[in-house]
């Protein structure tokens, strides 16, 4: 498990890794936002599909939290086109689909938060859960960048204040209509927050 020295400071910091696929503007904004809290970040600037596959297959070196900053398409991650020298065998029309992720992911104990649009659909959630992760959080429809920022701020603020993972997600996902699109995947089922702000199971 990634364990930077900052986690042992007098004012301990929460370690969060960020994988930036494509345009890094959102990832850098997220990084700045989190560092205003007691968070130490590690930014992975993803250049190729293989770079990303290495990040999600770290095994014992896995971070406690991994935020994936990307654009999405029906549960897949958009990488785009590359020159001939780059191996794109993991992509289909420039997109990494959930079956490829399911085959590669090995992040035991990690909480994965995916900011890509539609990344919270069932196929994607089940693919990420194959990697022995603790939880997977993502929206199952399109959300704005503002919603993403608010969700992450609320979630990590609550985590830093001692809330449980489920409590932090429930609080962050109850902010407004768009925030309620964020699903929580755990080993015992898939959860959403209803209009009443309470957690409900979609499938168990």
**Tally of CB atoms within 10 A around 189:** 11
Token pair 């919270």 in the structure block, residue = 120
| pTM (2 d.p.) | 0.96
Of 131, 138, 147, 127, nearest to 169 by C-alpha is: 138
Render pLDDT for 137-196 as a digit per residue (tens, 0 to 9): 999 999 998 999 999 999 999 999 999 999 999 999 998 999 999 999 999 999 999 988
Q: What are phi and psi of 199, to 5 degrees?
A: -70, 135
Q: How many residues does the chain have?
A: 204
Q: What is the C-alpha separation between 13 and 29, in angstroms, rounded?
A: 19
Render pLDDT for 134-147 as a digit per residue (tens, 0 to 9): 999 999 999 998 99
Q: What is the C-alpha separation between 53 and 4, in angstroms, rounded?
A: 22
| CATH number 3.40.50 is the correct assignment for the domain at 13-80+87-203 | yes
Residue ranges covered by each domain of the chain: 13-80+87-203
Q: Answer whether 19's CB lies under 8 Å from 42's CB.
A: no
Q: For residue 69, with 0-12 CB atoms within 10 Å meaning exposed, 13-18 middle and 19 or more buried, which class applies?
A: buried
């Amino acid at each position: 498990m990634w364990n930077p020295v900052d986690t042992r400071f007098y004012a301990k910091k929460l370690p969060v890794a960020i994988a930036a696929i494509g345009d890094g503007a959102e990832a850098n904004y997220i990084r700045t936002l989190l560092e205003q809290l007691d968070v130490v970040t590690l930014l992975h600037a993803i250049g190729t599909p293989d770079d990303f596959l290495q990040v999600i297959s770290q095994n014992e070196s896995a971070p406690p939290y991994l935020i994936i900053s990307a654009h999405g398409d029906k549960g897949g991650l958009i990488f785009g086109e590359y020159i001939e020298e780059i191996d794109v065998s993991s992509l289909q029309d420039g997109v990494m689909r959930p079956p490829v992720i399911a085959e590669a992911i090995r992040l035991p104990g990690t909480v994965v938060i995916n900011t890509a649009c539609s990344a919270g659909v069932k196929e994607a959630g089940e693919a990420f859960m194959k990697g022995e992760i603790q939880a997977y959080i993502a929206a199952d429809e399109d959300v704005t960048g503002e919603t993403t920022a608010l969700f992450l701020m609320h979630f990590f603020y609550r985590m830093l204040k001692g809330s449980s993972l489920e409590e932090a997600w429930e609080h962050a996902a109850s902010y407004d209509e768009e925030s309620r699109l964020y699903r929580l995947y755990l080993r015992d089922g898939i959860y959403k927050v209803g209009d009443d702000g309470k957690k409900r199971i979609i499938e168990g």
